[in-house]
Amino acid sequence: MNDLIKTFEERKSSKNKFKIQRTISKNSSVKMDVPKGLYEKCPKCKETVNMKATVENNFICRNCDEHFRVRAVDRIKITVDRGTFVEKGHGYITLNPLFQDGYEEKIASYKEKTNLDEAYIYGYAEINGMPTVIGVMDSYFLMGSMGSVVGEKVTKSYEYAIYKKLPIIIFTASGGARMQEGIFSLMQMAKTSAAVYRHAEQGLLYISVLTNPTTGGVTASFASLGDIILAEPNALIGFAGPRVIAQTINQKLPEGFQRAEFLEEKGFVDQVVHRDLMRDTLGKLLLFHRRYQ
Amino acid sequence: MDLRQIKNLMKEFEDSKIHKLEIKDNEFSIMLEKENNNTIVSSPSFAPVGSFTDNSVVKAQESKDEETEVNNNLLVRSPLVGTFYQSPSPDSETFVKVNQKVNKGDVLFIVEAMKVMNEITSPVNGTVVSINIRDTSMVEFDEIVMEIKE
Amino acid sequence: MFQKILIANRGEIAVRIIRACKQMGIETVAIYSVADKDSLHVQIADDAVCVGGAKSNESYLNMENIISAAISKGAEAIHPGFGFLSENSNFANLCHECGIRFIGPSGNVIDQMGNKSKAREIMIKAGVPVVPGSKGAVKSLDDAKVVALDIGFPILIKASAGGGGRGMRVANNMDEFDTAYETARSEALNAFGDGTMYLEKYVINPKHIEFQIMADKYGNVVHLGERDCSVQRRNQKVLEEAPSLISEDLRVRMGNAAILASKSVNYENAGTIEFLLSGEDFYFIEMNTRIQVEHPVTEMVTGIDLIREQINVAAGKKLSFKQEDIVLKGHSIEVRINAEDPKQGFRPNPGKISILHVPSGNGIRFDSFIYSGYSIPPYYDSMLGKVIVHGENRTDAINKMKATLEELIIGGVTTNQEFCYMILNNADYVRGKFDTGFIGMKIDSLLEYDE
C-alpha cells in the first residue's frame, strides 16, 4: 500500500480522540430517507426503476421499454391536447340483475379504489388540434370487464360521435365480458357492434387501439371492428386463453402467440405503435381522414 | 497467464485510454500497444504459468488491478449500495446460515436500496463459509458479503 | 449548519470541497468508484463509500447508489461539484424528495437554464442582451431557414440540450445550411436524446467573459466580477484569469445584466453567466448552474471562499457580503494542468506520478489531487490540477505564473505544463490581445517547446 495512504489511515485513528462525538439528532425536522413508492421493481426486467421518471416517461419502464398499464384518466392525459377533454356520459349506476353474491360490494370497492364509476370513460377531445370522440377502458376497475354500464357507455360513445359527426378512437383494455352480469354482458357485444356499424354508415372513422390486455368479449366485438386497428407493443390480444386453445387444438402454441406483433404479422392488427408515438400517429390519421362540412 | 486472462486483459486495454501496456512476469511477458486506434499484440516469450501474481513487474498503467485471490472461496459481493438483510422479514428465519449448503439460484440475502428489496442469489452450488456483514448494516458496492466454498 | 456532507464527485474538486468542509468543522463522506480506491479525496475524507464500477455511469453518475450512501451515512447535504450530476435536475429533485439538501439551485432552475433555447427565451424576456438569433427553439428546418435569412450569415446552429461544443455547426451561407442543420440535429439526438435546435448569429472569435454570481434564498444576488476564459482549445478552457481587461463601464453593465439574468429565474447558490464579447457588444450565451473549475481566480481577487459560501447558502444563511463589499484586488491567473501530450494531438496520457514538487509563496496556489506514487486512472478526464497565482497586477501575475511553472515538477506523466508556459510567453497574450481564436491561431508556435 502506498505510504501516503498508510499515513492518512494512521492519522485518522489517532485524530479520533479530538473528534467531538456527535449524536445524530433524532428530533431533526427533516429526516433523510427515500419515500416509499418512489422506486419500484419493474415486473418485466426486475430492475429498480424510479416511478416518477416512469410516469413522466408515459408509464414505460426506462430500462426495458415495458409498457405498463395506464389508468383511463392518465391515458387521456398523455394522448389528447391539454385542456381539450370534455367528459360525457355521467351518472350511470351499475346494478346486479342476476343477484350475484358479493357483486355489489365488489363494485363499491372498485369505485373507491379507482375513483371511477365504471371501467370506461369517454368524451370529446382534440389530438394535435383534430377533434374526435375518445373512449378509454380502465383495466384497474374489475379487470376492465364489460358489463351493462360499460356496454351502454361504449354504445353511447358511437352515438355521440354520430351526432357530432366526429371520428372515434377507443383504447381497449379488458379481461372480457363481465361474468357477474351473465347474458347482459354478452348482449353488450351485439349492441356495441351494431353501434359501430351505424357510425361507419355515416362514413366516419373509427380507430381501435388495443392495449394490454384485450381479451374475451371485447376482442370479439367492437375492439376488432375498427377501420384502423392499432396496438401497443407486446400487448396481449386474444379471445380465449392460451391454455384452452392449446388443449383444444392439441398443439404447442407458436412463439409470441397472442401478442400484438404476432397479430400485426398475421394481419389482425394494422400497426403496432410505441406509446411515445401514439399521439402523433393518431393525430396524423385524424388529419388524413378529416372531413370538410 | 491463460488465454481467458489474456483475452480479458486485451478487452480492458482496448476499452481504456492507455496506449501501451507491458507486463513481465517470472515466466511470461506481454506487450500491448495501440497505434492509430489498432491494438497490436506482441508476445516475445510465452510460457503458460498459473495466475497473474504480484511478482509481475508492470510498466505503464494497469487499467484494472486483478485481484490476487489467495482465498479460493467464491466471493459474493454486493452489486449496489444499500442495507443488508439476512432474512426476508424481521421475524423470519435467515435465508442461509454458515455451513449451510446452497444451490445455484438460491436466495442468499437481500440488499435494500431506495425501499426496493433486491434478492441476491448464489451463482454456484456450494457451502456458505462466512457471512461478513452484520444484519441491517450498510453495504457498499463490491463489498464482500458472503463467501461460498464450491 | 450541516453536520455531515457527502461529496458526489472525485479528483481535484472533491478534494477542494472536502477541505472546505473540514475547515468549517463539517464531517465529510467521499464516494468513489472501484478505480478510485487510492484517490486522495478518499483518503482525506472522514468516511468513504464505494458506489460502483470504474465507468462513470456505474458510479459517479449512479444516482441511486449515491443517495443510498448519503442516507446510510446520515449526510444531510450533497455537494455535487462540477460535471457528473451537478447539473442533473433529476438528481437535484431526487435529493429533495429524500430530504437531502442539494448544494446548488433547485431542479426546476437547473432545467430551465439547462435547456439552452429556453434559457435564451427567458433572457430575452428579462431584457438581457442575447446573440441575435431565433427567439427560442426552431420548429423545423424550414422554420430555421426563415429565421436564418432574418439574422444573416454566418449562423451557428446549436442544440438546446447541448454543451461542450457538441450538437453545434456553423453555416456560412444558405447552401451549407441544410447539411449543417441536419448534422447538428442528429449529433444532438444521439448525444443528448433531444434534437431541439436554435440559431445564433455566429460571432467570429469573440472574447469569452463570464461573471460569477452568488445568490441566497432570500433574494440577494451579488456578482463577484468577471473571468476571461478566452484561451480555449476546442471549446475546452486552458487558462483563465480575473479580472479581464474590460473597462469599468462595461463591467458594471455586464455585471448588472448577470444579476438581472439570475434574478429572472430566482437563482440560488453559485452560478456563472457566460457572455460573448465582440468589441463593446456583449451577449448572453449560457448560464452554468454549478461551481466551475476556474472558481479559484475569483476567490483570489475577491478574497471570498466560494465553496464555503455555497455551503452557507445551502444551509440557509444570508450572503456574507453585499455588492458594495466586492472589490477586485490585483490580478489572478489559473492554468489547468492535464495529463496529455500536446505534441501528440493532446492525447490523454494517464500514468503513475513518480515525482511531485509543488512551488509555493505569496499568492501561489496548487489545487490538485495527485501525490507522488499515485496512479492516474484512465476512466475520467485528464485534469491533474490547477496552478493559480495572484499578483498585484496582470504583469505581476504573469511573472508569478511563469516562475511557478518553471519550478513545478510532475514526473512520470506527460502534461501540458510546457504548453501552458508557452502561452504565458506569447507576446500577444502578454499584450492582452487574445480572443477565443487564440490557441487555434497560435498553435504551431505554442507547440515549439523542448520536451
What number of other Cβ atoms are within 10 A of residue C48's Cβ?
23
Q: What is the mean pLDDT of residues B27-48?
A: 52
pLDDT band of C363, cuts 50, 70, 90:
very high
Domains contained in chain A, CATH given: 34-68 (no CATH), 69-288 (3.90.226.10)
Q: How far apart are the CA of B141 and the nearest CA of chain C, in angstroms?
A: 5
Q: How many CA atoms lie within 13 A of A241 on its CB side?
A: 5
- CA-to-CA distance for A253 and A245, rounded, in angstroms? 8
Cβ pairs bridging A and C (under 8 Å) = 49
Q: In terms of domains, do C257 and C367 share one?
A: yes
Angle, vertex CA C162, rays to CA C156 and CA C165, nearest 5: 60
Smallest CA-to-CA distance from A120 within A157, A83, A95 is with: A157
Last residue of a domain, one of C185, C201, C217: C201
Amino acid at site A224? S
**One domain, residues C219 and C194:** no
C285 CB burial (10 A radius; 0-12, 13-18, 19+): buried
- Cα–Cα distance between A124 and A282 in angstroms, integer? 15
The full length of chain C comes to 451
Partner-chain residue, chosen from C34, C68, C352, that has the shortest CB–CB distance to B113? C68
Bridge partners of residue A177, in order along the sequence: A146
- Distance spanning both ends of chain A, measured CA to CA: 84
Structural domain contains residue C124:
no
| Confidence label for B46 from pLDDT (cuts 50, 70 and 90) | very low
pLDDT of residue C376: 96
| Span C98-110, pLDDT tens digits | 999 999 999 999 9
SS3 A37: coil
Task: Confirm if C386 and C12 have CB atoms less than 8 A apart.
Answer: yes
Q: Domain containing C195 — which CATH number? A: 3.30.1490.20
- Could you tell me the three cell numbers for C7? 461529496
Could you tell me the three cell numbers for A85?
377533454
Q: How far is CA A170 from CA A59, A230, C354, in A?
A: 19, 10, 71
Q: Domain tally for chain C?
A: 3
d(CA A89, CA B41) in angstroms, rounded, equals: 74
Residue C414 vs residues A75, A83, C341, C417, C439: alpha-carbon distances, Å: 58, 61, 6, 9, 20
pLDDT of residue A291: 82
* C-alpha closest to that of A199 among A241, A236, A170: A170
Tell me if B115 and A41 make a contact (CB, 8 A cut-off).
no
Structural domains in chain B, CATH included, are 3-59 (no CATH), 74-149 (2.40.50.100)
Q: In whole angstroms, how far apart are CA B48 and each of B23, B65, C251? A: 14, 20, 69
Question: DSSP secondary-structure letter at A67?
Answer: B
d(CA B91, CA C193): 47
Cell of C357: 514538487
User: Is the pLDDT reported for residue C82 higher than 80?
Assistant: yes
- What DSSP state is assigned to residue A269? S
| Cβ atoms of C101 and C268 closer than 8 Å | no
Residue C239 domain-assigned (yes or no): yes
- Say how far apart CA B74 and CA B80 lie, in whole Å: 18
Same domain, C235 and C378: yes
Q: Which of B16, B60, B113 sits opposite C351 (nearest CB)?
A: B60
C322 and C352 in a common domain:
yes
Active site residues of C: 290
Chain C neighbours (≥3 Cβ pairs under 8 A) are A, B
Determine the length of chain A. Answer: 293
Cis preceding linkage at A213, omega within 30: yes
What letter represents residue A99's amino acid? F
Q: Which residues pair with A120 in a beta bridge?
A: A137
Does B12 score more than 90 pLDDT?
no
d(CA C142, CA C323): 46
Instruction: Please tell me the predicted confidence (pLDDT) of residue A18.
Output: 67
Whether residue C371 sits in one domain with residue C251: yes
A5 in C contact zone (CB under 8 Å): yes
Q: Decide if C248 contacts C325 (C-beta within 8 A).
A: no
Instruction: Tell if the CB–CB gap between A4 and C371 is shorter than 8 Å.
Output: yes
Q: Are residues C196 and C222 in the same domain?
A: no
* C126 located within any domain: no
Residue A146 CA to residue A216 CA, distance in Å, equals 10
Report the predicted TM-score, pTM, of the whole model to 2 decimal places: 0.82
Instruction: Look at residue C123 and tell me if it is in a domain.
Output: no
Chain C contact set for B19 (CB, 8 A)? 347
Same domain, C382 and C242: yes
The predicted pLDDT at position B10 comes to: 79
Single residue among C173, C201, C229 that ends a domain in this structure: C201
- The pLDDT value recorded for residue B40 is 41
- Note whether C222 and C155 are same-domain residues: no
DSSP strand pairing (C331-338 vs C383-391): antiparallel
Report the residue from A9, A33, A48 with minimal CB separation from C71.
A33
- Tell me, yes or no, whether C324 and C186 share the same domain: no
pLDDT at C230 over 90: yes
- Mean pLDDT, to the nearest integer, of B102-108? 94
Comparing C-alpha atoms, which of B71, B64, B25 is closest to residue B48? B25
Q: What is the mean pLDDT of residues C340-355?
A: 95
Number of neighbours of residue C100 by Cβ within 10 angstroms: 23
Strands C221-233 and C236-242, by their bridges, are antiparallel
B95 touches C409 (CB < 8 A): no
Of the pLDDT bands very low, low, confident and very high (cuts 50, 70, 90), residue B25 is low
Specify the amino acid at residue A198.
R
CATH value at residue C388: 3.30.470.20
pLDDT band at C167 (very low <50, low <70, confident <90, very high): confident
Percent of chain B with pLDDT over 70: 70
C37 touches chain B (CB under 8 A): no
**Contact (CB, 8 A) for B148 and B116:** no
Most confident of B29-33, B70-74, C414-418: C414-418
**Residue A141 · residue A148 · CB < 8 Å:** no
Nearest CA in chain A to C94: A34
Cell of C367: 489545487
Q: Which of C179, C201, C223 is the last residue of a domain?
A: C201
3-state SS class at C215: strand
How does DSSP classify residue A240?
Answer: S
A205 residue type, one letter: L
The nearest alpha carbon in chain C to A28 belongs to C76
d(CA C335, CA C294): 9
Instruction: Round to whole Å and give the CA distance between A124 and A135.
Output: 9
Of the candidates A110, A112, A85, A235, which has an alpha carbon nearest to the alpha carbon of residue A172? Answer: A235
Residue C114 lies in a domain: no
Question: How far is CA B37 from its chain centroid?
Answer: 29
Closest CA to A59 of A206, A224, A171: A171
**Does C90 lie in the same domain as C21?**
yes
Q: Which residues pair with A87 in a beta bridge?
A: A123
Extract the residue ranges of chain A whose pLDDT is less than 50.
26-27
Whole-angstrom Cα distance, residue B115 to residue A41?
10
What is the 3-state secondary structure of C137-167?
CECCHHHHHHHHHHHCCCEEEEEEEEECCEE
Q: What is the pLDDT of residue B54?
A: 35
Any chain C CB within 8 A of the CB of A183?
no
CB contact under 8 A, C27 and A22: yes
CA C416/CA C400 separation, integer angstroms: 18
Instruction: Determine whether the interchain pair C99/A24 forms a contact, defined as Cβ–Cβ distance below 8 Å.
Output: no
Is residue B43 predicted with pLDDT exceeding 50? no
pLDDT score for B70: 64
- How do C77-79 and C4-7 pair as beta strands? parallel
Q: Is the ipTM of this complex over 0.90?
A: no
Nearest to C387 by CA among C322, C337, C328: C337
C76 touches chain A (CB under 8 A): yes
DSSP C262-313: HHHTT--EEEEEEEEEETTEEEEEEEE-S--TTHHHHHHHH---HHHHHHHH
Determine the residue type at C437: G
Question: Which chain A residues are closer than 8 Å to B115 by Cβ?
Answer: 34-39
Question: Quick check: B58 pLDDT over 50?
Answer: no
- Is residue C163 a contact partner of residue C83, using CB atoms and an 8 Å limit? no
Same domain, C196 and C212: no
What is residue A226's DSSP assignment? -
Query: What DSSP line would sit under B60-86, residue for residue?
Result: S--SSPPP-----SEEEE-SSSEEEES
Judged by DSSP in three states, C56 sits in helix
Helix, strand, coil percent values for chain B (each to nearest 5): 10, 40, 50
Whether the Cβ atoms of residue C167 and residue C158 lie closer than 8 Å to each other:
yes
Within a domain: C109: no
Query: Strand runs (DSSP E) across chain A, as ranges?
Result: 39-41, 48-50, 86-88, 120-127, 130-137, 168-174, 206-214, 228-231, 271-272
pLDDT at residue number B62: 41
Nearest CA in chain B to C73: B138
Q: Which residues of A fall within a CB distance of 8 Å from C97? A: 34-35, 38, 52
pLDDT at B64 over 80: no
In chain C, which residues have their Cβ closer than 8 Å to the Cβ of A4?
A: 40, 43, 371-374
Q: Check whether residue C228 and residue C178 sit in a common domain.
A: no
pLDDT at B21: 77
For residue C89, tell me if it sits in a domain.
yes
Evaluate whether B113 touches C68 at the Cβ level (below 8 Å).
yes
Q: Which residues 12-51 of A have a C-beta within 8 angstroms of C? A: 12, 22, 24, 28, 30-35, 38-39, 48, 50
Which grid coordinates belong to C346? 493532446
Give the pLDDT band of residue B35 (cuts 50, 70, 90): low
B116 with A41: Cβ contact below 8 A: yes
Domain, as residue range, for C37: 4-103
Give buried/exposed letters for B65-86 (b at 16+ CB in 10 A, else e).
eeeeeeeebbebebbbbbbbbb
